[in-house]
Amino acid sequence: MNDNFKSGFITIIGRPNTGKSTFLNHVIGQKIAIMSDKRQTTRNRIQGVLTSTDSQLVFIDTPGIHKPKHRLGDFMVKSAQDTLNEVDAVLFMVNANEGYGKGDQYILDLLQQVNRPVFLVINKIDLVHPDELLPLIDQYRNKYDFEAVFPISALNGNNVSSLIKELKSYIPEGPQYYPDDYVTDHPERFIISELIREKVLQLTREEVPHSIAVIIENLEERESGSIFIQASIVTERKTQKGIIIGKQGAMLKNIGQKARSDIEALLGSKVYLDLWVKVQKDWRNKQSQLQEFGYRSDEY
């Protein structure tokens, strides 16, 4: 290992739908966080690891900070806030296409209490005219003394490498926490469930809100080398169940086909995916079910 090897933890924080997960996936080079243009997609802190010859950057993708409406929302916001005191640097990501909003001020107030370098990352610059960027940068700079400002496109990769280079100059010398080929701290079951949930969100659009969870009921390798996965999509209402299944099962089949493609890329094996849809009324406000779905009771 390099004698001057650096390692550090960086949290990505921002309002919902600013592209935090897209950024993390681009940096890591594979999909570990689900992407959707629906708000509040990320529910758990997802840790992504970028290792090079001279450094290891551990990124924490947090749920978008928003006003909670249920126990699950409380968990998501607390999860994001807690990371601010655990890291070496903070990326405050905003959406260039939406501009400054009330939710940003709430986060900026939180950041005033953080004794860490904070970078303003203006994402989705591919969606705005360059002339709109300078006034937007000035608006945010007037509200907080950022260490630096990086306009980027996480989708296209614009300026992302410059941001990574700058981050390396801020993190301390330290050990390599994870092996070279390690990209995330989440087990395969979690990532598989998130890939399935992503397809539900993408394909059902506004018809099904974020009242769904995915549970991996069974995961086993067959003698042929293929992997059998049985998963349940849990929703809160019968009407939502009908939408997810679709006419003659067409929607569920489409969800399964698209999810299977991503899961096979993740696992490097042929996958047989068996999807079921269940209704569990008001699960987002029930502590026992939140724990069953992976949200620890000490976090909400």
Q: Which residues are annotated as a binding site?
A: 14-21, 61-65, 123-126
Residues in the chain, total = 300
Residue with tokens 């502590």, as numbered in its chain: 287
Q: Specify binding-site residues for GTP.
A: 14-21, 61-65, 123-126
CB-based contact 128:115 (threshold 8 Å):
no
Pairing of strands 227-235, 271-279: parallel
**Token output for 190:** 């979690």
60, 88 Cβ separation under 8 angstroms: no
Q: Which residue has the tokens 């570990």?
A: 32
Helix axes 188-204, 238-245, angle to 10 degrees: 90
Tokens representing 55 are: 């450094």
Residue where the block lists tokens 């969870």 = 213
